A and B are shown apart, each in its own frame.
Chain A
Amino acid sequence: MKITVAALTEPGSTVVNKTGGWRTFVPVVNHRRCIKCSLCEIYCPEGCIHQIDGLFVPDLDYCKGCGVCAHECPRKAIEMVLEEK
């Protein structure tokens, strides 16, 4: 990598920084309970919960395990589980 004049930076380039390593607890989604309200996706500070084939799935490359999705889920469809690494 060559340094850029005035330190100009490319859009969205933090994606190279996988923050999943910060995590202690991992969100586990019970898709059967999910009512697809999308609150988890809206509130996720990493913006890393995506709807894939109709299911809301956290991207564990970036999920820091903050637990906001689990806490806000109106159906308690997300559980924070101690992650074994």
Chain B
Amino acid sequence: MKMIAKEELSLKERMARMRVVEGSYAVAHAVKCCSPDVISAYPITPQTHIVEHLSQFVADGELDSEFLTVDSEFSAMSSLVGASAAGARCYSSTTSQGLALMWEVLYNAAGMRLPIVMTVANRALSAPLNIWNDHQDSVGARDSGWIQLYAEDVQEAADAIPQAYKIAEDPEIRTPVMVCMDGFILTHVYEPVELLSVEEVERFLPPYRPEHILDPENPKTFGAFADPSYFTELRYMQWDAHRRALNKIETVAREFAEEFGRWYGGLIDTYRADDAEVMIVTMGSVIGTIKDCIDVMRSEGMKVGLVKIRSYRPFPTEALRKALKDAEVVAVIEKDVTVGNEGALLTDLKAALYNTPTRIPVIGFPAGLGGRDITVRDIRRVVDRAIAARDRGIEAEMEFLSLREDLL
């Protein structure tokens, strides 16, 4: 997180505003500041603390929201489809199996252009059952039509909430947004966080005033079925909204930085990338480890840099092409794998570079699956492999990082 100095807010004042809180609390607090009308969620580890905190805010009268204790994640998202169509600002949070159970409704909410915001506390998908962090859940939902933002740390996961509403509710966008944060690693960590206030958020985020809602005074039909003569155009409009979101995400990130003095990148961010020969591309909380590792390698004279993907959907094709055009090799570290192919981000990134003059090796590393730590040694291995690929050609396009050969 870079600090952009804001004139009226000195560092000292900012430090005074900081509180050491749990990641889930920081997110719940940010949600509270956005004053959602309806919250609907089902408990699932490691998301539970977020909705517990929100419930407490409601119980204490600090947050005037309808909180639905629903019977499933499927009902959670379904109820928000109804609430959002009735004009409510809506919030949910889930993870893993819960997100998978919502699957059908994800596509539906996006297709109905309902600007719901949801935190995904990223967790592996069963089988085998595993409650720890990876990105298989939300990466699997990449085609659902939701905008997906990935947070590097707790502050970003919290600050992304008002940004998400501002993007989602824009009349030109009208698309739901998932804010993805690593389960346990970010949801359960205690960090110093600058908490937002309702007044500040109100200055940043306009009230939600949709053009059409379920209203007997103007009785529109929501969710008509479209035959082949109309379906393509309706999908195109969703696709086009994502294209517009490329600009909107950048604009909103800048507006947020102006208002709050914090910047996390727009679609992407870079770290020590200017003269980097080896570029690591990744998303989520592993970025902290990678940055530390890059600092060490830089001190050793290795020209390693980082591209952080903040918006995975819409995919920042142009931004990535620009950021990677002078690199000599790219290594993708991602917490997911497409069984039967390779990491999803690796595929997306290679596709983004294909029709450009950039002809460099791109290799990928599924890592941290099911919560396995990604260590400094792992990052070094990635960089070594990348350098080898550059100097001697690609040996393996994809390699499971820290695979325990002894178990196989």
Contact = CB atoms under 8 A, between A and B. Distances in A.
Do A and B pair up? The answer is: yes
Interface of A: 3, 5-11
Contacts of B212: 8
B234 A11 contact: no
Contacts of A5: 113, 174, 237
B230 A8 contact: no
Given A3-B237, A8-B224, 9 more contacts: A3-B234, A5-B113, A5-B237, A6-B111, A6-B114, A6-B234, A9-B220, A11-B219, A11-B220
A9 B222 CA distance: 7
7 contacts: A6-B234, A8-B212, A8-B224, A9-B220, A9-B221, A9-B224, A10-B220
By DSSP majority rule, is chain B's interface helix, strand, loop, or mixed?
A: loop
Interface in B86-113: 111-113
Nearest to B225: A7
A10 B221 contact: yes
Contacts of B114: 6
A5 B239 CA distance: 12
B223 interface: yes
Contacts of A9: 220-221, 224
Interface residues of B, number: 17
A3 B233 contact: yes
Contacts of B111: 6
Nearest to A1: B230
A80 to B, nearest CB: 32
Interface of B: 111-114, 174, 212, 219-224, 226, 230, 233-234, 237
B233 A8 contact: no
Contacts of B223: 7
A28 to B, nearest CB: 35
B286 to A, nearest CB: 37
Those 10 A-B pairs whose CB atoms lie nearest each other, nearest first:
A9-B221, A6-B113, A11-B219, A9-B224, A3-B233, A7-B224, A8-B220, A6-B112, A7-B226, A7-B234
B238 to A, nearest CB: 9
Contacts of A3: 230, 233-234, 237
A8 B230 CA distance: 12
